[in-house]
Structure 1
Amino acid sequence: MDIISWVVIIVIMIIVIFSIMDFIRGGKLRGRMQMRDSRFSAELFYTLLMIYLVVIFGFGLIYFVLSMNHVLLVENGELREVSVLGSFIHSFYFSGVTLLTIGYGDIIPLGIGRLLALIQALIGYVLPTAFVLRLVQSNQQNRDRKQDML
């Protein structure tokens, strides 16, 4: 692969990693996030949704860049040539299916794409846990504030 492809992949990975870390640490929402007892936090839900979209989009772009450098996604066990648009669609479809840990098996990565798919599946598996922990932490902080006020 050429140097430009590696630079693009590294930049995308940095953006994805910082987005996930910002979510896990509470980021910009920490001061604004207020939940009532047993109420749904729309802000936290939208934040998680945006993180999922960033990861799907980021890994989809990585798979697309790799496919342009002949590290392909194999469809139904057959290695076939697809158009640029087809490769773009397959990359984002595969990214979404992998992140959501569905894994139909109709598209399979080759080479370094397998490692990336494992990393992405792990992220998809861990993010809901981080979401639940963030809800519990936010709930606990609100209870502590109420007790301090009394």
Structure 2
Amino acid sequence: MDYAFLGIVAAVLLGSITSLWTVRVQATHRLSLDSLWVLVQWYLTMLLGFAMIYMILQVNGHAVFTPSPNSASKDRLSLLEDSLYLSGMTLLSVGYGDVTPIGVGRWIAIAEALVGYIMPAVIVTRTVFDWDHR
């Protein structure tokens, strides 16, 4: 059941990534609040999606990250917190190092970091490109 949910999360993430190239941001200025809002929505979608991937794999016995040393218990709530934290630190390229990816989690983190780097460049490029073709 958890793996089916993982497939759904992966499909939503891929759909969100492909929307970078298909959604047209309507803006009256080069950088508008609409463009910023779209970027924030993409970041939140990616952050939550990758956090769910980390959590589902961790719950099913695949060690994808080292839990925070501050986690007093190993319940699902602290696991969700660590998953969201790891996803946010990876996507935003902060990477404090207290929760680190291991095993296959490294490859997931690489993909997430790549998406985190590409998203702002794509939105700025699309905004400028759309502005020049008016």
Question: TM-score of the superposition, structure 2-length normalised?
Answer: 0.88
Give the counterpart of 1:34 among 27, 41, 50: 27
Q: Among the aligned pairs, what percent are the same residue?
A: 30
Provide the residue aligned with 2:130 in structure 1: 138
User: CA–CA distance in 2 between the matches of 1:89 and 1:81?
Assistant: 12
* Structure 2 portions without partners, runs of 5+: none
Distance in structure 2 (CA, Å) of the matches to 1:119 and 1:6: 19
For the pair shown, the structure with the greater C-alpha radius of gyration is 1
CA deviations over 1:68-116 (Å, ceiling 9, x no partner): 1122321468xx9611110000000100100011111111122221111
Q: Quote the residue 1:96 is aligned against.
A: 88
Deviation at 1:24, TM superposition (A): 2.5
Letter in 2 for 1:64: M
Contact 1:23–1:48 (8 Å) recurs in 2: no
Do 2:67 and 2:79's aligned partners in 1 also have CA atoms closer than 8 Å?
Answer: no
Aligned length: 132
Q: Which amino acid aligns with 1:127?
A: M
Maintained 8 Å contact 2:47/2:87:
yes
Q: Which residue of 2 aligns with 1:49?
A: 40
Superposition RMSD in Å? 2.1
For the pair 1:60 / 2:51, whether they are aligned, the reply is yes
Partner residue in 2 for 1:123:
115
Instruction: Pick one of 21, 37, 50 that aligns with 1:24.
Output: 21
The superposition leaves residues 45-69 of structure 1 with CA deviations (integer Å, 9 ceiling, x where unpaired) of: 1011000000000001111111111
Corresponding residue for residue 74 of structure 2: 82
